[in-house]
Amino acid sequence: QAGSGEESKKMKLYSYWRSSCAFRVRIALNLKGLEYEYKAVDLLKGEQTDPEYLKLNPLGYVPTLVDGDAVIADSFAIIMYLEEKYPLQALLPQDCQKRAINYQAANIVSANIQPLQNLVILKYIQEKVGPNETTPWAQSHITKGFEALEKLLKDYAGKYATGDEVYMADLFLAPQIYAAINRFEVDMNQFPTLLRVYKAYQELPAFQDAMPEKQPDATS
């Protein structure tokens, strides 16, 4: 087969449709125009604990990117790898102060919001505290993080989070705001800057094509 060699060179992204961490990486790949093969990992069925998958990602999370010999787990590491290896359509600004704001915004999401709303934590809260406590728990941590982001980005935001170009902060914000609205019933009107930039993402094909419901493993 003429195309089989090319096909094997294509990057593979191990993803779960509802994972906000995988969502970030899908946006990055789309923005950079990089083709990849989608490899679904069903978190609800526990496929992330399969021994073969754990060889790729010792933590048993998604996403994992396989690019030739490179195997990278963790969305932040993957995005930095893509930025360095495929510099076209830069995901970080040249200005070092603005770059730091992007790191800070990304870290607020990836360190202070998302880990507290992932499936493992919500299951723990459900079992130890009560079945009705998962949404209030998630809402309180999302709200705290969004209050910080709103203050941080107010003076930097243009059309997008840190100006008129899409950068790393946007890749982390879009999935988190999506989850806040669609899964955790957070009232976004209290965060006008975040809501405004989120609406701007709706116009971008790279963001729209990365949406959870458009992924091959999506269920209702």
Is residue 81 located within the same domain as residue 114?
no
**184 neighbors 138 (Cβ within 8 angstroms):** yes
Domain enclosing residue 25, as ranges = 12-89
Q: Distance between CA atoms of 8 and 214, rounded to whole angstroms?
A: 24
pLDDT at 59: 94
In a domain, 6, yes or no: no
Each residue of 124-159: pLDDT tens digit?
A: 778 888 888 788 788 989 999 999 999 999 999 999
Is residue 62 located within the same domain as residue 158?
no
pLDDT at 28: 98
Count other Cβ atoms within 10 Å, centred on residue 144.
14
Is residue 159 located within the same domain as residue 194?
yes
In a domain, 216, yes or no: no
Is residue 28 located within the same domain as residue 119?
no
In a domain, 213, yes or no: no
In a domain, 193, yes or no: yes
pLDDT at 209: 98
Measuring CA to CA, which residue among 202, 160, 175, 64 is closest to residue 109? 175
Of 23, 55, 89, the one marking the end of a domain is: 89
Each residue of 168-220: pLDDT tens digit?
A: 999 999 999 999 999 999 999 999 999 999 999 999 999 999 999 999 999 96
pLDDT at 68: 96
Q: Give the domain CATH number at 178.
A: 1.20.1050.10
pLDDT at 29: 98
Is residue 131 located within the same domain as residue 186?
yes
How many domains does the chain divide into? 2
Each residue of 44-87: pLDDT tens digit?
A: 999 999 999 999 999 999 999 999 999 999 999 999 999 999 99
Is residue 100 located within the same domain as residue 48?
no
Measuring CA to CA, which residue among 118, 108, 210, 215 is closest to residue 153? 108
Q: Distance between CA atoms of 211 and 205, rounded to whole angstroms?
A: 10
More confident position, 115 or 21? 21
pLDDT at 8: 60
Is residue 43 located within the same domain as residue 133?
no
Q: Distance between CA atoms of 220 and 214, rounded to whole angstroms?
A: 11
Q: Give the domain CATH number at 40.
A: 3.40.30.10
Is residue 81 located within the same domain as residue 155?
no
Of 89, 116, 136, the one marking the end of a domain is: 89
Is residue 70 located within the same domain as residue 153?
no
Q: Distance between CA atoms of 112 and 172, rounded to whole angstroms?
A: 12
Of 37, 71, 89, the one marking the end of a domain is: 89
pLDDT at 6: 55
**pLDDT confidence band for 1 (50 / 70 / 90):** very low
Tokens, residue 135: 């949404």
Give SS3 for 65.
strand
* pLDDT above 90 as % of the chain: 81
Each residue of 5-23: pLDDT tens digit?
A: 555 689 999 999 999 999 9
Is residue 83 located within the same domain as residue 24?
yes
Is residue 115 located within the same domain as residue 179?
yes
